């Protein structure tokens, strides 16, 4: 890996770390860091032949714009339902109840998307020496689950953290595997997703035990 790509990967990691820290705190500014991280990740993933992971970055950018608007509405609803003292009380995170119908529909779409992408990328994605067996399937699974988790995040559903934990564990395996099997791998991105796992555990705790439910 050249110095240029190492720098791009480290920058993507840095913006990703800031993003996830802000996500744990449910700070709306996280969406802006996601946009920058996604732009950098587009370069990293396509350069390393992770087609699905590269394409999903465009989805992240659109989702970030949608999330900015949606979270603004959640904050407005919170101000209407709680007094200023109650809203700020103990640094509570404002979350919404999981909507079963929308959760089921989005999950069904994710399953269909995974099947379609897995078939497509198995045929067109270039597999490098040392890559994890079934790389296109792993790539598709991580990408689709990330899309699902991002949608749930935009809805302020705390269950999104459970999906992110699965995504991040799978991503670490996919990125680090080549290092132990004669390939190149993405060491910095693997480290980033390890940080994401830890952040998800913290976020899960905060969003469940330090949260206030905002009714739609």
| pLDDT for position 123 | 87
Rounded Cα–Cα distance for residues 95 and 40 (Å): 29
Rounded Cα–Cα distance for residues 16 and 31 (Å): 11
Rounded Cα–Cα distance for residues 124 and 160 (Å): 30
pLDDT at 143 over 50: yes
Q: Kindly indicate the confidence band of residue 89, based on its pLDDT and cuts at 50, 70 and 90.
A: very low
Compute the mean pLDDT over every residue in the chain, rounded to the nearest whole number: 84
94-129 pLDDT, tens digit each: 788 889 999 999 999 999 999 999 999 888 877 788
Average pLDDT over residues 184-192: 79
154-178 pLDDT, tens digit each: 888 999 999 999 999 999 999 889 8
Which range marks the domain in which residue 191 is found? 3-213
25-76 pLDDT, tens digit each: 778 888 899 999 999 999 988 887 777 778 889 988 998 898 888 777 766 6
Rounded Cα–Cα distance for residues 154 and 69 (Å): 9
| pLDDT for position 88 | 46
Is the pLDDT higher at 196 or at 88? Answer: 196
Question: Residue 5: which residues within 8 A CB-CB, separation 6 or more?
Answer: 44, 47
**Tokens, residue 70:** 């949606």
| Lowest model confidence (mean pLDDT) among 53-62, 127-136, 178-187, 191-200 | 178-187
| pLDDT for position 55 | 84
Element (H, E) at 93: strand 93-95
Angle between the 30-47 and 3-24 helix axes, to the nearest 10 degrees?
150
Quote the DSSP letter at residue 126: P
Q: Kindly indicate the confidence band of residue 87, based on its pLDDT and cuts at 50, 70 and 90.
A: very low
Of 117, 111, 110, the C-alpha closest to 147 is 110
Is the pLDDT higher at 130 or at 162? Answer: 162
Q: What are phi and psi of 95, to 5 degrees?
A: -130, 165
The number of domains in the chain is 1
Cβ pair 60, 144 in contact under 8 A: no
**Tokens, residue 147:** 């899309």
């Amino acid at each position: 890996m050249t110095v240029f790509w190492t720098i791009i990967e480290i920058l993507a990691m840095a913006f990703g770390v800031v993003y996830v820290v802000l996500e744990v705190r449910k700070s709306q500014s996280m969406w802006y860091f996601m946009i920058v991280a996604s732009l950098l990740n587009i370069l990293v993933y396509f350069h390393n032949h992770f087609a699905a992971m590269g394409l999903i970055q465009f989805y992240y950018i659109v989702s970030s714009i949608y999330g900015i608007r949606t979270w603004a509405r959640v904050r407005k609803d919170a101000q209407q339902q709680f007094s200023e003292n109650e809203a700020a009380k103990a640094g509570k995170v404002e979350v919404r109840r999981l909507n079963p119908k929308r959760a089921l529909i989005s999950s069904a779409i994710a399953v269909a998307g995974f099947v379609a992408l897995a078939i497509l990328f198995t045929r067109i994605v270039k597999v490098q020496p040392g890559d994890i067996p079934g790389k296109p399937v792993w790539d598709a699974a991580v990408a689709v689950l990330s899309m699902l988790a991002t949608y749930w995040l935009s809805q302020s559903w705390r269950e999104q953290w459970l999906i992110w934990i699965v995504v991040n564990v799978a991503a670490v395996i996919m990125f680090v595997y080549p290092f132990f099997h004669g390939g190149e791998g993405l060491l910095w991105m693997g480290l980033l997703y390890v940080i994401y796992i830890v952040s998800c555990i913290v976020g899960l705790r905060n969003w469940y035990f330090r949260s206030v439910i905002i009714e739609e």
